[in-house]
Amino acid sequence: MGLGLLLVAAIASACGGSSSSSSSASSTTSGAPNGQLLAQLGDGLSGDPVDGVACNTGEQIAYHVHAHLAVYVNGQPRAIPYGIGIKQPVPEQTSAGPFVVQGDCFYWIHVHDLSGVIHIESPTQRTYTLGQFFDVWGQPLSSTQVGPASGPVTAFVNGAPYQGDPRSIPLTAHQVIQLDVGTAVPPQPYQFPRGL
């Protein structure tokens, strides 16, 4: 089975999934396409709204799009951990690495795997921002910091330099976002798997 089909199958099995399981995923770089993790996944999600983003027991599908985030620190790629925005994430191991299929609740902005794909699944169509994603994650984002990495931040959106506050970058359908801390890396393309 190809990677695209595997991801589509895993996403389909994850939609609407919920669990009262108390097991929590620990972030690893096993299978991480981008090397070392940018920051560990915290276990402190309460399920309370964050920046107007709620956490529901089932994924919302009225508005369902995907964006991609890549982060480089001094020229080195950093993986975005799986399970961001999913309270008590429960991963399954796939040939592409861990994929979260269940959790106590899903924030409208969340991440299932280590690919950097951000799932925007909302009960209404509205524009969410990268700042809201980082707030759900519990990590700082500014022009001088991305998670625990500090230094001048260069942002690219769809291959073009982004001049504003990186927190204001919109999360829209197939938006390709790259944040470079310190040494800037030329914008890297990302191909969304079929079905995303």
- Are the beta carbons of 96 and 113 closer than 8 angstroms? yes
User: With a threshold of 0.85, does the pTM exceed it?
Assistant: no
Quick one: pLDDT at residue 29?
A: 38
Which amino acid would we find at residue 23?
A: S
Residue 5, classed as helix, strand or coil, is helix
Quick one: pLDDT at residue 42?
A: 60
Quick one: pLDDT at residue 34?
A: 53
Number of C-alpha atoms within 13 angstroms, CB side, residue 166? Answer: 24
Q: What is the mean pLDDT of each run of 10 residues along the chain (196 residues)?
A: 37 38 35 63 78 90 95 96 94 94 95 96 95 96 97 98 97 98 96 91
Element at 105 (helix H, strand E): strand 105-107
Quick one: pLDDT at residue 141?
A: 98
Quick one: pLDDT at residue 71?
A: 97
Residue 22 φ/ψ region, left for φ over 0, alpha for ψ in the -120 to 50 degree band, beta for the rest: alpha
Quick one: pLDDT at residue 116?
A: 97
Quick one: pLDDT at residue 32?
A: 45
Residue 195, classed as helix, strand or coil, is coil
Write b or e for each residue in 57-66: b if 16 or more Cβ atoms lie within 10 A of its Cβ, otherwise e.
eebbeebbbb
